[in-house]
Chains A and B, each alone.
Chain A
Amino acid sequence: MTGAIPSIALVGNPNAGKSSLFNALTGARQKIANYPGVTVERKAGHASFADGRPLSLIDLPGTYSLTPASLDEAVTRDVVLGKQDGEKRPDALIVVLDAANLDNHLSFALELLALNLPTVVALNMVDLAARDGLTLDAERLSKELGVPVVPTVAVRKRGMAELLAAVDGAIRSHGADEIAAPAEANDASLHQRARTIARAAILSETPVRRWTQRVDNVVLHPVAGMIILLALMFVMFQAVYAAAEAPADFLEGGIGIVQQWVVATFPDNFLRGLVVEGLLAGVGAVVVFLPQILILFLFILLLEASGYMTRAAFLMDGLMGKVGLSGRGFIPLLSSFACAVPGIMATRAIPDEKDRLTTILIAPLMTCSARLPVYALIIAAFIPDTNVGGTPVGLQGLVLFGLYLSGIVGALVVAYVLRRTVAKGAGAGFMMEMPRYQMPRLRDIAIGLWQRAWIFLRRAGTIIAMTTVILWLLLTFPQAPEGESQVEYSVAGRIASGLEVVVAPIGFNHDIALALIPAMAAREVAVSAMATANAIDAGDDEEAMAQSLGERLQGKWSLATALAFLAWFVFAPQCISTIAITRRETNGWKWPMFMVGYLFLLAYAAAGITYWTAVAFGLG
């Protein structure tokens, strides 16, 4: 180390708190959650020692040993052994241990210590160990391991200064260049030693807390557990409607006022049209769904932070197993409720290759938050805001729940077929650690929500705004002669008329045909596109302008068309990012092409069947 910034890697078992430590030391906001396999990539960040010298910190995926079982674990091995392309080997390791799980975590620690890199052990989660009635002797542990051991509470930033000081000391005092190759330790003997050391370090211990066990007895009960899982999801969708209404109305009102002000203040010119019809009407129509999206995320974040996620995986494993997947895959699929992109990334933690491929291919069927604006718009316009037969269950929330369920059921059916055709393979295994329950920390949840809100608004401000503006241009030119519809006459309108021929059989009208192509960029654009087209259509007609997009659609579409449109969005792969990430994660164009193809076919069929059925029932 000749003056270069030392790089220090955080290594340890899954869920030991590596990313929490990374965040505490660097001020970064890596995702942390209470289940194994959250981090699937190497991430670097900057921190500094007490005297101000900089250091580079590397957060790694958790793993149980240097022999990887999945792609994310391979990253850790490669970085630690210096095999990663273009990466030098870390100058030191911080081995992160869960204090309440020493027996197990020490085995990997011993394997890492055998590498003979400068090493410090972070004895993390000492607060949880204390909660569970464990008292540990860090000094004794340090003596047994021969390296410094620093007790830490990553989420409260306790022990950070001591940890860095110990790392500094370890690097300085390390006898240079004696870095060993990984020792071929027999796991049994390694475990034996780990257990002996753990026993020596534990000063006192009471049996594992009973209440967590009691919670699990209910939550993992074959029948009660399933009911709880369904009830949780159900409440989530009811809440999306019930709680978001007021803030959404408020946003909508606010945008309306700005719109009127712009119209009243500026002369009617090109720029005003772009701002009013493209940005305010178009992008604004998407932004009003922010409250809904945040409520959905609040639920997901709470599930992730509490430790419930792995319980859900346990409950779903039986069903997932029947279609050739495993409960492990349920976690990335639930993540895909937020967005399929991180969901697809999270599949790296799935050991079986075919299992992983199948999970990637069905991830776009999970209802991502980008569909929420589309669903919410159509549901609000066409589904009456009533309760189901005198119960407190809202019909709109129920329909939304149904759409999510259709996505899940569709995904399972597709998985079943894929596992017997293109992704054939032995039944996937399922082995996972179940973390202890934790009280979600308000700060973490707030940061998570803020991040999601920011991502959503950035999307609205970039890809959605850009696509909408382009569409607005294509809708504005050429200028229609007096008496003809501007939307139909424009370039975009003519393209839509061409597409309409193809989609008319499944009940799609000109509005929808117009929205479908730009919505490839992002699903929300379907909403902004229709809003923009409607705003252009409304022109200076005050009455039409005062109407909300939902009200306008209500007047123009039949219920059958609306339902077909919803069915289309359950399946259609309207998202470039998903296609791009699938290409990256499957190393080629074959699978993303396959995915796009089968999803469009399904979307067409689903929309068609929905439309024809609805028409048969007289809803056309």
Chain B
Amino acid sequence: MTALLENLLDRAPLGVMVRIARIDWTAMSEDEGRRLREFGLMEGCEVTPLHRGSIFSRDPLALTVGRMKVIIRARQAAAITVEPAA
């Protein structure tokens, strides 16, 4: 796969469920990575991005993981590669 074909969570369309294919843990601090996992965001899980940004910027991103809704920054979302959910 080339970078061009990759779909990043950062750019994923809102309201569509996707599966997390890969997370580039090196793109974030250890603490941030751990908090992501604590939210249940890890390879193989399904998420739905729902809201993105305000009039001020593209940040942040709100998504559902299971029954939980969480907010992350675009920078972390950009480290998450997603694929269409089955």
**A residues whose Cβ falls under 8 Å from a Cβ of B:** 64-65, 67, 69, 100-101, 103-104, 107-108, 132, 187-188, 191, 208, 213, 216-217, 220-223, 225-226, 310, 313-319, 321-322, 327, 351, 429-434, 436
Contacts of A101 in B (CB 8 A): 66-68
Of B54, B57, B62, which contacts A434 at CB under 8 A? B62
Which residues B38-57 have CB closer than 8 A to chain A? 38-40, 42-43, 50-51, 53-57
Q: Are B67 and A187 in contact (CB under 8 A)?
A: no
Cα distance A103–B42 in the bound complex, in angstroms: 13
Contacts of B70 in A (CB 8 A): 431-434
Cα distance A220–B43 in the bound complex, in angstroms: 27
Contacts of A321 in B (CB 8 A): 56-57, 59, 73
- Closest chain B residue to A103, Cβ basis: B66
**B42, B56, B65, B75 — most chain A CB neighbours (10 Å):** B56
- Closest chain A residue to B31, Cβ basis: A69
Q: A208-B64, A321-B57 are in contact. List 17 more A-B contacts (CB 8 A).
A: A67-B34, A69-B35, A104-B68, A220-B50, A221-B51, A226-B55, A314-B54, A314-B60, A314-B62, A317-B71, A318-B59, A431-B32, A431-B70, A433-B70, A434-B62, A434-B69, A436-B69
Q: Are B55 and A103 in contact (CB under 8 A)?
A: no
Of A208, A226, A432, A436, which contacts B71 at CB under 8 A? A432
- Closest chain A residue to B54, Cβ basis: A318
Min distance, Cβ B52 to any Cβ of chain A, angstroms = 8
Which residues B1-48 have CB closer than 8 A to chain A? 28-29, 31-32, 34-40, 42-43
Contacts of B71 in A (CB 8 A): 310, 313-314, 317, 327, 430-434
Given contacts A104-B66, A187-B38, contact A216 B73 (CB under 8 A): no
- Closest chain B residue to A227, Cβ basis: B55
Min distance, Cβ B45 to any Cβ of chain A, angstroms = 8
- Give how many A-B residue pairs fall within 8 Å (CB-CB): 123
Cα distance A431–B76 in the bound complex, in angstroms: 10
A-B pairs, top 6 by smallest CB distance, nearest first, are: A318-B56, A318-B57, A64-B38, A434-B69, A220-B51, A318-B54
Cα distance A433–B28 in the bound complex, in angstroms: 19
Q: Are B39 and A433 in contact (CB under 8 A)?
A: yes
Q: What are 12 inter-chain pairs, A to B, with CB distance below 8 A?
A: A65-B38, A208-B64, A216-B69, A220-B51, A221-B51, A223-B55, A313-B71, A314-B62, A430-B72, A432-B71, A433-B69, A433-B70
Cα distance A225–B28 in the bound complex, in angstroms: 29
**A107, A108, A213, A317 — most chain B CB neighbours (10 Å):** A317
Min distance, Cβ B41 to any Cβ of chain A, angstroms = 10
Contacts of A310 in B (CB 8 A): 71
Q: Are A317 and B60 in contact (CB under 8 A)?
A: yes
Cα distance A103–B41 in the bound complex, in angstroms: 12
Contacts of A318 in B (CB 8 A): 53-60
Q: Are B68 and A222 in contact (CB under 8 A)?
A: no
Min distance, Cβ A582 to any Cβ of chain B, angstroms = 25
Min distance, Cβ B75 to any Cβ of chain A, angstroms = 8
Q: Are B53 and A216 in contact (CB under 8 A)?
A: no
Contacts of B28 in A (CB 8 A): 429
Of A65, A103, A317, A429, which contacts B32 at CB under 8 A? A429
Q: Are B54 and A431 in contact (CB under 8 A)?
A: no
Min distance, Cβ A220 to any Cβ of chain B, angstroms = 4
Min distance, Cβ A69 to any Cβ of chain B, angstroms = 5
